A and B are shown apart, each in its own frame.
Chain A
Amino acid sequence: MELYVAALGFGLISASVIAIAAVGFTMQFGITNMINLAYGEVMMVSGYAAFYVNQAGVNIWVAMIAGALAGAALSFVLNRFLYTPFQRKGTNLIGMVIISLAASLMIANLMLPLVGYDTSSYVIDQGQLLRWNGLVLTVAQIAIIVVAAILMLAVHGMLRYTRLGKAMRATAANPTLARNCGIPTQRVISVVWLITGALCGVAGVVAGMDSENFSVASGAGYLITIIAAAVLGGAGQPYGAMIGALIIGLVTELSAAAIAPEYKQVVAFAILVLVMVLRPQGMLAKRGALAAAG
């Protein structure tokens, strides 16, 4: 029983990591209708950016900023110079998926000669091990959960209360109408990719902190749980992604305790498949994965 309570704790950390990533991922989809399969690789690159800063003696929590900046820059460049030109050309959804897959392949393989095949780890002071009613977490792990909570609140605040947030929601709902109402949709989209890129960057660093080590190959692994959380919550729905991340995080950790740790991704995949078969639009979305009707 204690095992499961501890797993619950791990589930919260997992959910925190996934939430930061999934919210960014789903917002990229919401604003540009783009399933950015290079998202995992951007996380990985950001993780390495923070790694090198960390190696230079900077505390990992500060180095996280480097990760956020790297993520923002890379995501912005991807959208501005690769995705947008193809979308303007009229490439269909499938073509965009193939392109983002090609981009992810290129990013990963450009990183390999630079950082090598070996795994890397952050220098991080985990702090005291705290126990409470069976939950066993270090201070650093609790900090991750706190960071995630703060970021989720920040996203919520931005979407709900700022002009930018309103412009984002309008552009996501109906770009033509938004443009006709005077919203500078191009600029809004660029800003969204900067912000979600930063989220992606932070997620990459936090994921690296959560696992013992990471490597270039980690990128693809991240993507599966992120997609599962985003689809579960409803494509393009940030609040859905938060809930989806919570569910995926908890369920995968609990099943890891129940079955075996290697099958975490399989469980996430199983959830993804179940959602797609039973409720393709996810929990919160009104439109979503369902094939377009006439």
Chain B
Amino acid sequence: MNSYYAATLAVYAGVDIIACIALNLQFGVSGIVNFSFIVFQAAGAYTAAVLSMPPDSAYGGYQTYIGGLQLPFPIPWIGGAIVGGLLAIPVGLVVLRKLRPDYQAISLLVLSVIANSLITNARTFLNGAAGIAQVPGPFSNQVDPLAQSYQLLYVGLTLPCVLLVWAVASRIVNSPFGRSLRAMREHEVAATAIGKNPVQLKMTVFIVGGVIAGLSGAILVGYIAVWAPSVWLYPETIILFAAVIVGGRGNNVGAILGALLVPVGFEEATRMIPPTIGGWVPPPNLIPAMQWVAIGLLIIGFLWFRPEGVRPEPRRVFEGAPVREDSERVLKS
């Protein structure tokens, strides 16, 4: 297997895993249907880009954007994560308070469409529809970005991020705090009756998710070196939702599994489709369109047949618990 291909796969997988863990925290564990998730990834990517690039004058006018502070790694990545979290504050304060859940969801969906449209139209902010190109990755001054060693370096930078995010998410989900989040997901009104403040819980998860989403964007933009509105249209969030639903809601292993099955596995599988099938050449845009149809079918199919996903949320059993009659797999706490 081509090592460039393997490295690309690894980086994409890492980014998708990080994104799915964040979405799972918001949606799977806490029940927040964040249809604007991709906006937070985009915020992180744009931030990392404008922090790591030289001022736009260096390009002789072919792209215009704010910032251009040319800061070295790891500042762009940290900046991306922070901005992802900061963006979650006003959005969360407006949307997450008194609305019923389905209204929250559509507000966030509409926000995603509008944000994309705004950035496209504000040409001098982040270079509009054309987006930002030639984003330097970390250490691209020291190591030639086109060399094989750079690929390994990038994987080496991505992997610790994945592990860090997994560790943070694990601590959250497997703690009393995570339990409160799950209770809020199950029955919000009953949760208030036992002293949980749902607004505070939701805002916390929204911000944490935003931070992680921002980080995923920063990692991705450093690798693919471009970022434009066409990369973060609202359906991108739906792929991640499909991943979390398929992999298994409410648990990090399920989120990782979903990331590997859907955005990664799916893309790779369709790459294998030959250019001609028995002499028939499919029109160039048929495959991507059918991918989207398949994503829709995956979501509907899993919600019908197996809503808990491939790897469901585990049952928490505590030390010293009496033995249960059935032989279901348990997770010792």
A residues adjacent to B (C-beta < 8 A): 35, 37, 82, 85-86, 89, 91, 93-99, 101-103, 105-106, 108-110, 112-113, 117, 220-221, 223-224, 227, 231, 260, 262-263, 265-266, 269, 272-273, 276-277, 280, 289-294
B94→A102 contact, CB < 8 A: no
On chain B, the number of residues with a Cβ less than 8 Å from chain A's Cβ atoms is 45
A101→B238 contact, CB < 8 A: yes
Alpha-carbon distance between A128 and B315 when the two chains are bound, in angstroms = 71
Q: How far is the CB of B130 from chain A (nearest CB, A)?
A: 16
Alpha-carbon distance between A262 and B290 when the two chains are bound, in angstroms = 31
B113→A105 contact, CB < 8 A: no
With contacts A227-B110, A269-B111 taken as known, whether A93 is within 8 angstroms of B101 at the C-beta atoms is yes
User: Does B145 interact with chain A (Cβ within 8 Å)?
Assistant: no
B114→A224 contact, CB < 8 A: yes
Alpha-carbon distance between A289 and B103 when the two chains are bound, in angstroms = 6
1/0 per residue, CB under 8 A from A, across B293-304: the answer is: 101110110011
B106→A291 contact, CB < 8 A: no
With contacts A37-B106, A110-B293, A276-B103 taken as known, whether A294 is within 8 angstroms of B111 at the C-beta atoms is no
B296→A105 contact, CB < 8 A: yes
1/0 per residue, CB under 8 A from A, across B280-306: the answer is: 000101100110110111011001100
Alpha-carbon distance between A42 and B289 when the two chains are bound, in angstroms = 17
Alpha-carbon distance between A235 and B170 when the two chains are bound, in angstroms = 39
Alpha-carbon distance between A86 and B303 when the two chains are bound, in angstroms = 9
- Which chain A residue has the least Cβ–Cβ distance from B291? A109
A272→B110 contact, CB < 8 A: yes
**Residues of B contacting A98 in the complex (Cβ-Cβ under 8 angstroms):** 33, 105, 241, 245, 299, 303
Alpha-carbon distance between A274 and B106 when the two chains are bound, in angstroms = 14
Q: How far is the CB of B48 from chain A (nearest CB, A)?
A: 26
User: Does B189 interact with chain A (Cβ within 8 Å)?
Assistant: yes
**Residues of B contacting A280 in the complex (Cβ-Cβ under 8 angstroms):** 98-99, 103
With contacts A262-B121, A280-B103, A289-B99 taken as known, whether A95 is within 8 angstroms of B297 at the C-beta atoms is no
With contacts A276-B99, A293-B189 taken as known, whether A103 is within 8 angstroms of B107 at the C-beta atoms is no
**Residues of A contacting B31 in the complex (Cβ-Cβ under 8 angstroms):** 94
With contacts A269-B114, A272-B107 taken as known, whether A102 is within 8 angstroms of B299 at the C-beta atoms is yes
Alpha-carbon distance between A108 and B233 when the two chains are bound, in angstroms = 14
Alpha-carbon distance between A265 and B106 when the two chains are bound, in angstroms = 15
User: Does B234 interact with chain A (Cβ within 8 Å)?
Assistant: yes
User: Does B117 interact with chain A (Cβ within 8 Å)?
Assistant: yes
A-B contact pairs, 21 of them (CB 8 A): A35-B106, A89-B304, A94-B105, A98-B299, A98-B303, A102-B238, A102-B297, A102-B299, A105-B296, A106-B293, A109-B292, A113-B283, A113-B290, A231-B103, A272-B110, A276-B107, A280-B98, A289-B99, A290-B99, A291-B188, A294-B193
1/0 per residue, CB under 8 A from A, across B87-106: the answer is: 00000001100111111011
B33→A294 contact, CB < 8 A: no
B33→A94 contact, CB < 8 A: yes
Given contacts A99-B303, A102-B238, A291-B188, 15 further A-B contacts (CB under 8 A): A37-B109, A94-B31, A94-B105, A99-B299, A101-B35, A105-B235, A105-B293, A105-B296, A117-B285, A224-B113, A227-B106, A277-B94, A280-B99, A280-B103, A291-B99
User: Does B58 interact with chain A (Cβ within 8 Å)?
Assistant: no
**Residues of A contacting B163 in the complex (Cβ-Cβ under 8 angstroms):** none
Alpha-carbon distance between A292 and B192 when the two chains are bound, in angstroms = 13
B300→A82 contact, CB < 8 A: yes
Q: How far is the CB of A65 from chain B (nearest CB, A)?
A: 29
Cβ contact of B100, chosen from A227, A266, A290, cutoff 8 A: A290
**Residues of B contacting A224 in the complex (Cβ-Cβ under 8 angstroms):** 110, 113-114
Q: How far is the CB of B302 from chain A (nearest CB, A)?
A: 10
User: Does B168 interact with chain A (Cβ within 8 Å)?
Assistant: no
Alpha-carbon distance between A290 and B292 when the two chains are bound, in angstroms = 33
Alpha-carbon distance between A292 and B100 when the two chains are bound, in angstroms = 7
- Which chain B residue has the least Cβ–Cβ distance from A85? B304
- Which chain B residue has the least Cβ–Cβ distance from A262? B121
User: Does B118 interact with chain A (Cβ within 8 Å)?
Assistant: yes
Interface hits, B243-286 → A, CB 8 Å: 245, 283, 285-286
**Residues of B contacting A262 in the complex (Cβ-Cβ under 8 angstroms):** 117, 121
**Residues of B contacting A109 in the complex (Cβ-Cβ under 8 angstroms):** 289-290, 292-293, 296
A93→B293 contact, CB < 8 A: no
A273→B234 contact, CB < 8 A: no
**Residues of B contacting A102 in the complex (Cβ-Cβ under 8 angstroms):** 238, 295-297, 299-300
Cβ contact of B285, chosen from A113, A269, A294, cutoff 8 A: A113
Alpha-carbon distance between A102 and B118 when the two chains are bound, in angstroms = 25
- Which chain B residue has the least Cβ–Cβ distance from A274? B94
A97→B33 contact, CB < 8 A: yes
B101→A94 contact, CB < 8 A: yes
- Which chain A residue has the least Cβ–Cβ distance from B235? A105
Alpha-carbon distance between A204 and B296 when the two chains are bound, in angstroms = 23
- Which chain A residue has the least Cβ–Cβ distance from B287? A113
